[in-house]
Each structure stands twice: as structure tokens, then as C-alpha cells.
Amino acid sequence: MPSRKHLANAIRVLSMDAVQKANSGHPGAPMGMADIAEVLWNDFLKHNPQNPNWADRDRFVLSNGHGSMLIYSLLHLSGYDLTMDDLKQFRQLHSRTPGHPERGYTAGVETTTGPLGQGIANGVGMAVAEKILAAQFNRDGHTVVDHNTYVFLGDGCMMEGVSHEACSLAGTLGLGKLIAFYDDNGISIDGHVEGWFTDDTPKRFEAYGWHVIRAVDGHNAAAIKAAIEAAKAETKKPTLIITKTIIGFGSPNKQASHDCHGSPLGLEEVALVRKTLGWEYEPFVVPADVYAGWDAKEKGAAAEKSWEAKFAAYKAAHPELAAEFDRRVIKGELPADFAAKAEAFIAESQAKGEKIASRKASQNSIAAFVPLLPELLGGSADLAGSNLTLVKTSKGVTAEDASGNYLYYGVREFGMSAIMNGISAHGGFIAYGATFLMFQQYAANAVRMSALMKLQNIFVYTHDSIGQGEDGPTHQPIEVLASLRMTPNLDTWRPADAAEAAVSWKAAIERKTGPAALVFSRQNLDHVARTPAQVADIAKGGYVLVDSVGEPEAILIATGSEVGITVQAAAALKAKGRNVRVVSMPSTSVFDRQDEAYKESVLPISVGARVAVETAHVDYWYKYVGFDGRVVGMTGFGESAPGPALLEYFGFTVDNIVSTVEELLED
């Protein structure tokens, strides 16, 4: 049997060889963390390479994602479906070994990492999911949820603010099954970090409520093993293991410097590394005994088989819970009757005809859907009373009782969103989290990552416009809607009333291939009359709300809080003899996915006179109105004043919309 060091060296040489072949990448971190990875994966990690989706597997996250060859080497060596040819294609087009680990590209990669700090935040989310599922499903004598989340992270992750947000909350929630390894090598791209990073990291994490194991020799297998055992013994707190390592370990001329951080070692240095490590094999050659020392297939299959026996006993003792676990966690399916019940609620919302803020309509939707969906896991970044995300059936998750369905995230918009990504990547939940629309900008990269990973998340954003009023331009989003709409694979909904709000929630809940942003008003909105056919068409993202007689002279397009006033303007125009159509477009991306015939029926190309109305930046809407069209919108920031005064000041009035349409038709 090869020594531990020899097994770890396989990671080192595969990593440096792949980076060298690609002439691009980061060899330093994989070479430095190889010994830690060897101990963790061979002695502790519970996983099955033949079933990467086993529900009770441990989760492994490489937060310092630039070191991606570390995880690719681990997956290949331990028996996952990742071949040596895949390693040779590192960083090449459409390979299964992209430059940073990407969920969905590579079996065994749990989350996409690269933007530093978000991986550890995702790990917090995974540990949150495990803790809540354990509290909801485990019963005396039957433990079917029992796994750890392990995270590797580096100096860069420690510096990023999102790691502070997430790790602080992890301590408060007592995530005892979260174990993080800090690669304390003192090097970042710019060089030795003491010039810009001198935090007392152990004290910081102890202040968060973490169990901290200091100054572990990251190249001493016995010390690493002892640290992991101590971490696993602490069940009430997350653990940070601070490992002192040498970046680029084994490179005689470049180790311990930034020269090996983000660029290939060079052919001469690669040859010297082989000599230094005693690795006698050609590039991309691993001897049989090393493969045997790493192979986790048999052990993994046995571990999963043992769990299946536990689950069978659980099913016999608690059949209803087992069926729910199978539906939620293993299959990720909605209840069979959800769609019908949701449609009934939409019809009820339309029939009630309430004049309420769309944020209140959103709360009503949550209140209707939470009893139907125990997998709905809500939260807000300290604004629950304003975002209206709490309902009667909401129960807070705490360190002592994690059986609830609501997370108090505190003022942590970025952390909340990144944690939601981890929860969704883990499985078993549909996560929703809320803040003001303006403060989505704090969280924008995590929202982007959710879309990139095709994760189902529901991002709830309220106080969506200048209608928010007195809080002023710091709180009034102008550019945010356009940013959300231009994010690939993100469906953004801005409902006009309770019926559209209910449809947006149903759509977000049913969408399994990506996130949704649901954008709601602070102020009350008029109810809009609709036929049953129009109610059904809401789900298409855009539909004819008020039609003309025959082909219209002009089409007015509006969303959200501006739909009501646009309908009023249309009535005023019709009273003047103008033949106009009003299109409500709550979701542009959903509308864009409809077939051409439907889109032509709503926005016929023959009608070039178009006016869009929205309390957001005008530029987005030229996509629909054309260069010759008009937009009643915003080109600058808002002001501080009561909402109605601002709407009038910035031209969101019947008179201004009417005059804009008339000017367009006269041109």
C-alpha cells in the first residue's frame, strides 16, 4: 500500500500536469492542500462515487475554486465518472473540467465556486439544510439524515465580506456538522498577504461561536486526522481547522511564493517537482497501487447500502415521513395536487379583487402555499415586517430547534442569497429569501450564481420603485430591474395585483431549472379586471389586458404598479377616440420564451406606435417599443418625498401617459 504522502503526491502531479498542459490555471493550492484532502477523503468523507446524488452523502465544497484541479484529481482518483482524458481537457471548451468547478458539468461537484467567499457561504447553506432536515425527519431510533459538510477555503475567502456574513450566522445556528479547513499559506495573487490581511482569524471565528483548532500542520497526516476527529466530536458548533501549508508544496523553486499561485510551473520546474516528490511516472500516468489506495467505490457502495437498510427500517416505522422524504429529498417532486390547488388560489385572488400592495399579495400567496409545501423554507434579511415574508405557519429555525421553516438571516443580503444557493444545491427545500429591491445589489453575484447553477431559488424583492417614497433615492431602485432581467436564466416577475402575484409564486415554485426574482410594491395597487382566459395568460409573462377594436393605433406596455395607471390612461385615450391596447408584461423572460405566434398576437409587428410605462430605467424597454417608441420611465435617481408626490413629479400620471401616446401618434 502506498504511503499517505505518495497518495497525496498523485494530486500534486495531476494538478501541475493538467495546468501545464492547459498553459493556464492554479497549481499552488492543490499542491499545498493535497495532504489535507488525502486524509479527509480516504479516512472520513462519506460518499459513493457510483451514486454522486446519494441523499445522505457528505458534502465537499472547494471554496477556493481556482484550485479546481484539486477536486478534479480527487474525483478521478476515488472513482467518479471523470476520466484521465477529462483531466487532459482541463480548461478546454465544453470539457468536464472547466477552469473553476461548475455544478452540472462534473459528477461530484456540489456547487459552482470561483467568486471567493461564496463557497463557504454555500457550505453554510448545505449545513443548514442538513440540520433542518434532520430535525424534521429523524426520529428516536431512526437517523436517516446524518452527514457533514466539509469546506476548503483560503485567504481570499477569508477576506471577502460574504464569508463573514455567512460564518457569523453559522455560529449562531450552531451548525455542528460544518467543518471548514482554512488553507493558511499566507499567499495570494499579489504576494504575501501580511501587507493587507492581518486579521486574528482564530479570535474572529471564536467570536462567531465557532470551535477553532489552531495551527495544524497541513502536511502532517496524523495531525490532520486528529484535528478532524476533534472537529467531529464537537456537535454544537461549526469547526474551523486552521492548517498551515506551503503553497505549491514540492516545487523547489516556486513553493511558498505567489509564482505558483495562478500560472503553470513551467516544464523545467515540473520535472524538478517529479524528482523532489519521487514521482517516477510520465504525465497523466497513475500506477495501479495508487489507484487502489484511492478507490472509494466499494466503501461508498457499502455505506449507501447500510443507509438504505436504515431507511427501510424507517419506512416500516414511519411510512408517511418516509414517503415525504422520498418526495422532497430523493425525488425533488411537488405534491401531486399542488398545481390544482395553486390554480384555485389564483382564481380566488382574482375574484376577491383586493386593492392591496403587491407585497401584501405576495404574503397572501406565501400563506396559501406554505401549508401545501413543507419544503418551502423562507427568510428575510432583517426586513420581514416590510417584506411580508412571515405568515402564521412560519416557525423560526434556531440552534436549539431546527425543525422550523423560516430563517432570520439578519442584515446579510449577500450572505442570505449565497446560503440559499447552498440550501438549494443540497436539496430537500425550495428556498425563498427577501430584501428591498435596491439591496439586491449587495447580493447580485449570489443571484447570478444561482442562475448560472440552474438552482431553484425564489428571491423576493419589495419596495420596488420611487413609489417607496420618503426613504429617498438610496432606497429607490432605478437600474435594478434591468439588471435582473438581463441575467440569463433568471425569471423576473413584477406583478400588477394579487392575481399576478399568485401566478408569479406558482411559476417560481414549479420552475426547477433556475431561480426567480419576484418584485413587489410597497404601495397599494388597484385590482385589475380580467376574464378567465386573461388570468390563464398571465403565466405566459405578457398578455393583452385591455384590447382595442381591431388592430390598435398604439400599444401601451406596463408592469407592476404602473399597470393600473396605464389602464386609466387607455380609458382616457379611448374617450378621445384613440384605439389603443394595454399589455401587462409581468415577466419579460417568460414572455420571450413563448412561440412567435403568441408574441405576434400580443405585440403585432404591424403596430409600431408603442409606449412602455415603468418606474425604472427607460433603456431596457426600447427592446419592445423600438427606437421610434416612447418610454415613460426614469433616467436619473429618485427623490425623498411621499410616494404619490414622486409619482406625479416624475410623470407617472394619466395626463403624461396620454400626452406621450398622442405625441407619438402625431409624429
Task: State pLDDT tens for residues 18-64.
Answer: 999 999 999 999 999 999 999 999 999 999 999 999 999 999 999 99
Q: Which residues does residue 396 pair with via DSSP β-bridges, in sequence order?
A: 406
Tell me what the mean pLDDT of segment 132-138 comes to. 98
Q: In this predicted structure, what is the pLDDT of residue 173?
A: 98
Concatenated DSSP letters of 188-244: ETTEEGGGT----HHHHHHHHT-EEEEEEETT-HHHHHHHHHHHHH--SS-EEEEEE
Give the Cα separation of 150 and 169 in Å (integer): 17
In 3D, which of 169, 146, 175, 167 has the Cα closest to residue 235? 175
Position 215 pLDDT exceeds 90? yes
Residues 472/638, Cβ–Cβ less than 8 Å: yes
- pTM greater than the 0.85 cutoff: yes
Q: In this predicted structure, what is the pLDDT of residue 240?
A: 98
Number of Cβ atoms within 10 Å of the Cβ of 340: 10
Give the Cα separation of 68 and 60 in Å (integer): 13
Tell me what the mean pLDDT of segment 346-364 comes to. 98
In 3D, which of 143, 246, 244, 225 has the Cα closest to residue 179? 225
Which SS3 state, helix, strand or coil, does residue 374 take? coil
Q: How many residues does the chain have?
A: 667
Position 667 pLDDT exceeds 90? no
Which grid coordinates belong to 640? 425623498
In 3D, which of 592, 610, 591 has the Cα closest to residue 500? 591
Give the Cα separation of 47 and 61 in Å (integer): 13
Q: Which one of the listed residues 102, 130, 165, 413 is annotated catalytic?
A: 413
Position 290 pLDDT exceeds 90? yes
Task: State pLDDT tens for residues 366-390.
Answer: 999 999 999 999 999 999 999 999 9
Position 187 pLDDT exceeds 90? no
Handedness of CA 612, 613, 614, 615 (dihedral sign): positive
Task: State pLDDT tens for residues 552-609.
Answer: 999 999 999 999 999 999 999 999 999 999 999 999 999 999 999 999 999 999 999 9
Task: State pLDDT tens for residues 590-602.
Answer: 999 999 999 999 9
- Which pLDDT band, with edges at 50, 70 and 90, does 626 fall under? very high
Task: State pLDDT tens for residues 450-504.
Answer: 999 999 999 999 999 999 999 999 999 999 999 999 999 999 999 999 999 999 9
Average pLDDT of the chain to the nearest whole number: 97
Which residue type does 551 have?
Answer: E
Q: In this predicted structure, what is the pLDDT of residue 225?
A: 98
Number of Cβ atoms within 10 Å of the Cβ of 180: 28
- Which pLDDT band, with edges at 50, 70 and 90, does 217 fall under? very high
Task: State pLDDT tens for residues 300-313.
Answer: 999 999 999 999 99
Q: What is the CA radius of gyration of the chain?
A: 28
Residues 515/447, Cβ–Cβ less than 8 Å: yes
663 a catalytic residue: no
Q: In this predicted structure, what is the pLDDT of residue 538?
A: 98
